[in-house]
Amino acid sequence: MGARIIEGRPVAEEIRKDIIRRMAELQLEGITPGLAVIMVGDDPASSSYVKMKGKACQELGIYSQTLRMPSNYPEEALLHTIDELNRNPRINGILVQMPVPGHIDVSKVVQAIDPDKDVDAFHPVNVGKMLIGEGDGFLPATPHGIQELLMRNGYEVAGKHVVIVGRSNIVGKPLAAMLMQKGEGADATVTVCHSRTRDLGSITVQADILVCAVGRAGLIKADMVKEGAVVIDVGSNRVQDPSSARGYRFVGDVDFEAVKERAAAITPVPGGVGPMTIIMLMQNTVLAAEKALKQHAGPKV
């Protein structure tokens, strides 16, 4: 019969409607959320992502600034730019598009961003809040998008064995931390696999929910997936395709055609997790504006 295809766009549209409602409430207070995106260099993939973020802001009515810097932009100048944005009340969210050139210390950049404007949720303060389960920080866009995708499609995580392939700071580690928390959309038993995991298939085949986020096209084969599992493919890999007008296409980390005959549900690439990442970033920007309004208003007496 084949797996159910879990599309990201319908869920992203649900969240988009909620964002529009929340923005209307902010506008009654005279506030339009603002996002600043800094891009250093001219990486093609980064440029594409930045354009998508700008378009999403425009469609939602979020004020946006895109600051494009040359690849030799000094680290000190970048830190100064971040400091100016930290102090700019017009800007609620700050995002430095990764990767940055090698002469720039990523850790310094991440820590320079005000935690209350860290909509990427990379600052140690927000990472720490996520890890201990405090609810007043930001959650990283892709992991939070995956969690929402599962919840809103009716896939219960509590008590399930979730296997995550990939231990990046962007997806694997934060997703593991989020899914093992107590609460809605969590309470899972989580196993994290990586490049040093022995006999990967013997572990992935145990998963009730399998998430792959390593950036290796077709890594997960059908015999590595349990019958009836839910498969979330985070990978986006460019492969040559002479039949395409562009000469290439994007595929995930999962052998989609084979695995969809074995899984109960699976996300496509593109069109699965991707739309969720952008909308969750927009949600974080609105959340940042709401937090700023609350701080400005001060405690009620």
162, 260: one domain: yes
* Structural domain contains residue 133: no
* Amino acid of residue 51: K
**Tokens linked to 137:** 């920080």
151, 269: one domain: yes
Q: Is the pLDDT of residue 298 over 70?
A: no
The alpha-helical segments, DSSP class H, found in 153-243 are 172-179, 200-204
What does the pLDDT read at residue 47?
87
Say how many Å lie between the first and final Cα of the chain, rounded. 61
147, 264: one domain: yes
Q: Is the pLDDT of residue 299 over 60?
A: no
How many CB atoms lie under 10 A from the CB of residue 293? 16
What is the spatial distance between Cα 216 and Cα 235, in angstroms, rounded to a whole number? Answer: 7
Q: Is the pLDDT of residue 300 over 60?
A: no
What does the pLDDT read at residue 280?
98
* Structural domain contains residue 291: no
pLDDT in tens, 205-252: 999 999 999 999 999 999 999 999 999 999 988 888 888 888 888 899
List Cα–Cα distances, 169 to 69, 137, 172, 190, 298, in angstroms: 25, 17, 6, 16, 34
* Structural domain contains residue 280: no
269, 146: one domain: yes
164, 250: one domain: yes
Its pTM surpasses 0.75 = yes
What is the spatial distance between Cα 129 and Cα 50, in angstroms, rounded to a whole number? Answer: 27
* Structural domain contains residue 1: no
Give percent of the chain with pLDDT exceeding 70: 98
List Cα–Cα distances, 50 to 43, 77, 83, in angstroms: 10, 20, 21
pLDDT in tens, 14-56: 999 999 999 999 999 999 999 999 999 998 878 888 999 999 9
What is the spatial distance between Cα 150 and Cα 104, in angstroms, rounded to a whole number? Answer: 36
What is the spatial distance between Cα 70 and Cα 76, in angstroms, rounded to a whole number? Answer: 14
pLDDT in tens, 142-190: 999 999 999 999 999 999 999 999 999 999 999 999 999 999 999 999 9
**Tokens linked to 274:** 């991707």
165, 225: one domain: yes
165, 77: one domain: no
Packing angle of the helix pair 44-60, 8-28 (nearest 10 deg): 50
pLDDT-derived band at 92 (thresholds 50, 70, 90) equals: very high
Structural domain boundaries enclosing 84:
30-115
Total number of domains in the chain: 2
Q: Is the pLDDT of residue 301 over 50?
A: no
Phi, psi at 159, each rounded to 5°? 80, -5
77, 154: one domain: no
Q: Catalytic residues, which ones?
A: 53, 97, 120
* Structural domain contains residue 109: yes
pLDDT in tens, 94-117: 999 999 999 999 999 999 999 999
86, 145: one domain: no
Nearest Cα to 266, choosing from 2, 6, 12? 6
Q: Is the pLDDT of residue 284 over 70?
A: yes
Phi, psi at 210, each rounded to 5°? -115, 125
